[in-house]
A and B are shown apart, each in its own frame.
Chain A
Amino acid sequence: MIYLFCALYPEAAPLIKEYRMKRVDFGNGIRMWQKDNELTLVLTGTGQLNAAAVTAAVLSRRKAGSHDFLISYGCCASLNTEKTDGIFLVHKITDLQTGRDYYPDLLYETGFAEASLISENKVYTGAENIGSGELYDMESAAVFHAGSMFFPLHSMFFIRFISDAGQTENLTAETITSLSAEYLPLMKKLIDDLARHEEEKDIILTEEDDRMISKFAEDMGCSTAMKRELHRYIHYAVLTGKDWKKKIEELYESGTLPVTEKEEGKKVLHAFREYAAE
């Protein structure tokens, strides 16, 4: 699942429309849209508190994890005379309140230009001397902080398009939506690429294997520690291409299993280790 977090509806509108996402009743006043089991879009509202609370609530209830992705997407102000428009992948987020820097892990080729960003809980007027960042927003640090409790750092993407330089009087919802729509092809490419991406699965033994191992361990009279060991031996047997299920069958067929005494179980475990390690 890809979780897309936007602060405002005008930022999200082109994506909702493009993917024909359906409104979902998540409760707690959180506005959410979804497309199948691929894409969930959430509005966090503006500011650090809203962003952190909504991000954490959604990811926690949805049990998001290491095989999902997070994209934080929206508009920002430019702090830099060289970058006055465009869309950027953020490579460094500085939380001005805490002074803490956050670094997403930039492992994937996304095609976006990159920039650093300063995040603070108040609206930037253009008059403040903020420091050395290039972009400014009010949510990224909070989304990163909450998101990093659920995702590895390379699974989070912070994408910002410049909508202003701090003078927001003339910035309308329509302007934001039209800028977001302008960058839709780039966003669509990232979302579609992530949806297709399959990371190498960490799973070596399936749930069915685990059930089989539990039965095997029980018939071997294994303690918890012995069962852990058995699991490790079988894990290794799988990696080295051994037919461990056949080996277990043989132990049943020969009457070695089930054991009647714990000592016998220890011997069987030892023999199984020899088999796995050979």
Chain B
Amino acid sequence: MHSGNMRLNKPFSHVYIEEGIMQHPLCTRILSFFPHAVQIPVTSYKDVFSRKGQRSSVQIKSRNLILAEKKDHFLYSGSVVCHDFDERWFYYCTNVLNCIYDCAYCWLKGMYDSANLVIFVNQEDFLAETAGMLKKHPVYLCLSYENDLVPLENITGFLHSWAEFTVRNPGLTIEIRTKCGNEDIWKALPVSERIIPAFTLSPDPVILEMEKGTASLSQRIRAIRAAAENGFHPRLCLDPVFAVPDWENIYGSMIRNVMCEIDPADIRDISLGTFRLSNDYMKKMRKEYPHSASVQYPYVLHDGYYGYEENKKRKIENTIRKQLEQYVPGEKIYMLENE
């Protein structure tokens, strides 16, 4: 017998649906985008998503969709390895678990056993919980913390829902982080100082090698410009930065390129940080992705997190900071340590 591989099912060939939300309008809407998918009713999304024995590295090539109801924990407090931009009431929420992109370094690969995408359709409960919290204090809410909602907006409508809710609730600020090149969304969402588009920027060699499925740098720049032209003040996230060969020039030329295309005065702020990942996630990713150079790199362990050696990290961050300071004032640049 000669060799030849089994063909994989097309992505989203199967949709698992919690029995309790079959009639939910968002469930019906999402299913209409997958008319040929096999629908499999499930009692709880965890029965599929949290199964033992999944190989996420194989699954990611043919992942499926799970539609579910989030029962509790609608908002979480932010993590210590994340930029909080001096916001005291920093939260994140997870309308979606996992991401349609496939970044080699993505911490979701260390967090979950599954590469399947879970969409929680009960957006009304997320809004209700946020409204309750807003009665106590302002809320800064990161929407795309464990996913990227922009490429899913067509099928979910979550961003429109959040943006409209934000406009109505003055205590709420939302951050929409993305690697998507969609320009139209920034023309369609209501504009507010409290709606922050946050674009992750990576040079094309990094995008090509490590950020599979995401927009190219030029597409991202066009999306940033569309956001700025429509009145938003975008955040730029140079985070994570990787010490790829010739990183100084590669990142330097990316910064020049971006700053030529976008008026630095339109930029709200910039976050900057080198790659870092918790020990537990790294262990799991190294085992599951033995071929991935970006996780197999000999990082050093420091306070429970893997990252570059202190000297290298400082050198990268300081160099890039200086490159950025040619265009934006230093107080607009956020680095993890000085927050």
Chain A positions near chain B (C-beta within 8 angstroms): 38, 66, 91-92, 101, 103, 105-109, 114, 116, 132, 148, 151-154, 192-200, 202-204, 229, 232-233, 235-236, 239-240, 273, 276-277
**A196 vs B293: C-alpha distance when bound (angstroms):** 28
Asked whether A151 lies within 8 Å of B53 as measured between CB atoms, the reply is: yes
Asked whether B293 lies within 8 Å of A108 as measured between CB atoms, the reply is: no
Query: Which secondary structure dominates chain B's binding surface?
Result: loop
- With an 8 Å Cβ cutoff, the count of chain B residues facing the other chain is 36
Chain B positions near chain A (C-beta within 8 angstroms): 1-9, 13-14, 16, 38, 40-43, 47-48, 51-55, 58-59, 61-62, 64, 290-293, 296-298
Residues of A within 8 Å of B291, CB to CB, are 200, 204, 239
- Nearest CB in chain A: distance from B104 CB, A: 12
Known pairs A92-B42, A196-B4 / 10 extra A-B pairs, C-beta < 8 Å: A103-B40, A103-B42, A103-B48, A108-B6, A109-B9, A116-B40, A153-B51, A232-B298, A235-B296, A276-B298
**A109 vs B36: C-alpha distance when bound (angstroms):** 14
**A114 vs B9: C-alpha distance when bound (angstroms):** 13
Given A91-B40, A154-B58, A233-B298: A197 touches B47 (CB 8 Å cut-off) = no
Given A101-B42, A107-B8: A277 touches B297 (CB 8 Å cut-off) = yes
* 30 pairs from A and B in contact (CB 8 Å cutoff): A66-B55, A105-B55, A105-B59, A106-B38, A107-B8, A107-B9, A108-B6, A108-B8, A114-B38, A132-B41, A152-B54, A153-B54, A154-B55, A192-B1, A196-B1, A196-B2, A196-B3, A197-B6, A198-B5, A200-B291, A202-B290, A204-B290, A204-B291, A229-B298, A232-B298, A235-B296, A239-B291, A276-B298, A277-B297, A277-B298
- Nearest CB in chain A: distance from B314 CB, A: 16
Asked whether B58 lies within 8 Å of A148 as measured between CB atoms, the reply is: no
Nearest B residue to A114 via CB reads B38
Residues of A within 8 Å of B40, CB to CB, are 91-92, 103, 116
Residues of A within 8 Å of B61, CB to CB, are 107
**A269 vs B166: C-alpha distance when bound (angstroms):** 54
Asked whether B55 lies within 8 Å of A103 as measured between CB atoms, the reply is: no
Please give me the 10 A-B residue pairs with the lowest Cβ-Cβ distance, nearest first.
A108-B6, A109-B7, A153-B53, A107-B62, A239-B293, A152-B55, A197-B6, A196-B4, A236-B296, A148-B53
**A203 vs B291: C-alpha distance when bound (angstroms):** 9
Nearest B residue to A277 via CB reads B298
